[in-house]
Amino acid sequence: MRGIYDEIKERFLVVLEGRRMLSEKVQVKARPLRTEEAIGNPEADDFPLQKGKEKLMQAEFHGSLGQAFTDQYGDFEGTLRDVLEMPLRNNYKRSVFVATLNVVLRFLGQTEGTIHCHDKGPEECASELVDELKAKYRASKIVQVGFQPRMVEYLAPEFFLRVLDMDKDNIGFEKFGVMIEDPAAADDAIEWADLLFVTGTTLVNDTIGQFLRKKPVLFYGTTIAGAASIMGWERFCARST
């Protein structure tokens, strides 16, 4: 059965073949970033990156950079053809593919915002998010997929909010007045929601499919930059570079 990754790969292949990039001997490198490299020094200390739950993989291509969140990481070096032909069987391989997609489309000028914001960026982004949602979306009931603390902190006072997260250290605990729910509650939450506000990390951990084509979706974060551009998905990431 043709899946979402097949479709993204097909569209990416068209881009690369059109520019004869597959035949080039292109080097693509990815490595896990230290917390300070990835997000600087934000005032709060409750981000997944700071807790060691996830890392940012960074791909480099002709001076451009592209990133992807993952909980399985390691180095990779190969051609763009190698990446396209790689079976996306686990989070590590999907993170290599996604970071590569991001960096190549960034290099070609077909996407932007592929580098995570630093320092006060997450808080500034969350503040701008509230204005964005009020201006563009008629949504009073929002399901946020992925516990991004500053976003939850800013959204909770303004909307009816439910939050789903895969981190067992968060599930069942109240954060900023919102109970963090297990992903098993997804079907009920989707039915309840006016808008799904979904982390791009779902593209790496292979859960993105359950959130597509059911309710209006707004993705957030750097991980999904390239895929959002190539697939025409809505994305919010106000302070990435």
Residue 110 CA to residue 104 CA, distance in Å, equals: 9
C-alpha torsion sign, points 34, 61, 116, 87: negative
Each residue's pLDDT tens digit, 182-191: 999 999 999 9
**In the predicted model, is pLDDT for residue 39 greater than 90?**
no
**Mean pLDDT over residues 191-211, rounded?**
96
**Which fold, 121-236?**
Rossmann fold (3.40.50)
In which band, very low, low, confident or very high, does the pLDDT at 214 lie, cut at 50, 70 and 90?
Answer: confident
Name the average pLDDT for the chain: 89
Please give the pLDDT value at position 97.
96
Read off the pLDDT of each residue in 105-123 and give the average, rounded to a whole number: 91
Higher local confidence (pLDDT), 93 or 72: 93
Lay out the sheet containing 28-32: strands in order across.
64-70, 55-61, 28-32, 76-78
Question: Torsions phi, psi of 64, nearest 5?
Answer: -95, 160
Among the listed residues 204, 177, 220, 178, the one whose alpha carbon sits nearest the alpha carbon of residue 68:
204
Cα–Cα distance for residue pair 34/48, rounded to 1 Å = 12
Is residue 101 a contact partner of residue 8, using CB atoms and an 8 Å limit?
yes
Structure tokens at 43: 């005032």
Is the sign of the CA dihedral 188, 217, 5, 181 positive or negative? Answer: negative
25 vs 20, more confident: 20
Asked if the model's pLDDT at residue 49 lies above 50, the reply is: no
The domain segmentation of the chain, as residue ranges, is: 4-107, 121-236
Residue 54 confidence (pLDDT) above 80? no
Mean pLDDT over 6-15 rounds to 97
CB atoms within 10 A of CB 72: 17
Confidence of residue 129 (pLDDT cuts 50, 70, 90): very high
More confident residue, 200 or 41: 200
SS3 56: strand
Which carries the bigger pLDDT value, residue 45 or residue 201?
201
| Phi/psi of residue 146, nearest 5 degrees | 105, 125
Condensed to tens digits (0 to 9), the pLDDT of residues 131-155 reads 999 999 988 999 999 999 999 999 9
Question: Which residues does 10 contact at the CB level (< 8 Å), separation at least 6?
Answer: none
